[in-house]
């Protein structure tokens, strides 16, 4: 299996940000200066799952397979699920389907553990309407996609105004999702600070590429604001700084037991080498699922290998798996089994 470096991931559009100064009087989390902190930087670490969307042979929602998936993630220790996400092909879903998936997720995880992206949120009005509908569907948080609300033609200043307008009068807690597609808008620390402190946003699913970038974001947001790491290229370094509260990545969707182990043992005196080994494996696996194999079919194929009733089908115009790619997926599964055996991790399937 090929390993992917940070430079490889940068080709996908991930960028770095520069730390900004915190204005006098701003209520923010303290910056962590020492990058070599102990493993106990965060006493509580959580993971959330960006849920894949099972489809039947006619490419319609397979709601039974979706319920089975949700039960699997629940047993595996996920704190929450992102019911509408890029892993779930959110841009190919109708809004009615997105609400169906949200209702099913809420039935398993409750409203507090059910988050959903505003996958049709291309305007302030559309976001506001979608927030109301997600609330009625049982979501506990709606995630605005900055790159969907404000594409590449929109300046950061205008994007900030739109994001703040969405938050006015919202009847649902809001988060932010730096999705890579359709336009990868990365938030600068000063922008995130305004969104958190003025707009009241409570969570960021970040695709920032480096520990320093995530640390800069964490330094300017209020206490209680959550940052979930989605770009795992430097996962161990990010977690070691204490800048992130959790992880929400592709590996969580395919091998959630590893995320459960990582969260349970982080800060508990476990051998740092074991935790670093898991973080490194997650980083390499995420890169493989996204770049070496056709995404998001890669996630579905691995889940099928694990015994989940999900078909390797997608509505997106992507290549099917070839023989060599299936070998790569099977190798991932074998590596996972070996890692779990070494660390005595109990499998949920």
The CATH number of 40-343 is: 3.20.20.70
Q: At what angle do helices 95-109 and 124-137 cross, to 10 degrees?
A: 40
DSSP 29-68: PPP---TT--GGG-S--EEEEE----B-TTS-B-HHHHHH
Grouping H, G, I as helix, E, B as strand and the rest as coil, residue 331 is helix
Helix axes 124-137, 156-167, angle to 10 degrees: 40
The pTM for the full model equals: 0.87
Give pLDDT tens digits along the chain (349 positions). Answer: 333 333 333 333 333 332 222 232 333 443 333 333 344 444 689 999 999 999 999 999 999 999 999 999 999 999 999 999 999 999 999 999 999 999 999 999 999 999 999 999 999 999 999 999 999 999 999 999 999 999 999 999 999 999 999 999 999 999 999 999 899 999 999 999 999 999 999 999 999 989 999 999 999 999 999 999 999 999 999 999 999 999 999 999 999 999 999 999 998 777 889 999 999 999 999 999 999 999 999 999 999 999 999 999 999 988 889 999 999 999 999 999 999 999 999 998 8
């Amino acid at each position: 299996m090929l390993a992917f470096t940070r430079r490889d991931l940068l080709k996908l559009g991930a960028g770095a940000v520069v730390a900004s100064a915190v204005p006098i009087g701003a209520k923010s989390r303290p910056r962590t200066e020492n990058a070599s902190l102990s493993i106990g930087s965060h006493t509580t670490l959580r993971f959330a799952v960006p849920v894949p969307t099972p489809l039947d042979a006619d490419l319609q929602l397979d709601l039974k397979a979706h319920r089975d998936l949700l039960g699997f993630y629940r047993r595996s220790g996920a704190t929450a699920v992102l019911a509408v996400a890029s892993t779930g092909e959110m841009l190919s879903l109708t809004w009615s389907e997105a609400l169906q998936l949200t209702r099913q997720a809420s039935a398993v995880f409750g409203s507090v553990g059910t988050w959903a992206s505003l996958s049709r949120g291309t305007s302030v009005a559309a976001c506001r309407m979608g927030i109301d509908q997600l609330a009625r569907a049982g979501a506990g948080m709606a995630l605005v996609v900055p790159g969907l609300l404000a594409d590449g033609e929109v300046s950061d200043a205008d994007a900030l105004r739109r994001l703040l307008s969405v938050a006015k009068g919202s009847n649902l807690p809001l988060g932010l999702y730096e999705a890579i597609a359709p336009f990868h808008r990365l938030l600068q620390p000063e922008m995130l600070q305004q969104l958190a402190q003025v707009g009241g946003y409570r969570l960021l699913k970040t695709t920032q590429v480096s520990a320093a970038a995530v640390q800069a974001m964490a330094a300017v947001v209020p206490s209680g604001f959550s940052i979930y790491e989605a770009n795992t290229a430097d996962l161990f370094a990010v977690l070691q700084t204490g800048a992130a509260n959790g992880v929400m990545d592709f590996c969580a969707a395919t091998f959630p037991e590893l995320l459960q182990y990582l969260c349970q043992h982080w800060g508990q005196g476990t051998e740092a080498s074991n935790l670093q080994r898991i973080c490194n494996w997650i980083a390499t696996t995420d890169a493989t699922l996204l770049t070496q194999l056709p995404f998001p079919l890669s996630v579905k194929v691995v889940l099928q290998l694990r015994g989940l009733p999900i078909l390797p089908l997608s509505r997106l115009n992507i290549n099917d798996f070839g023989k060599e790619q299936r070998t790569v997926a099977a190798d991932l599964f074998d590596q996972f089994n070996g890692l779990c055996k070494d660390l005595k991790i109990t499998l949920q399937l």
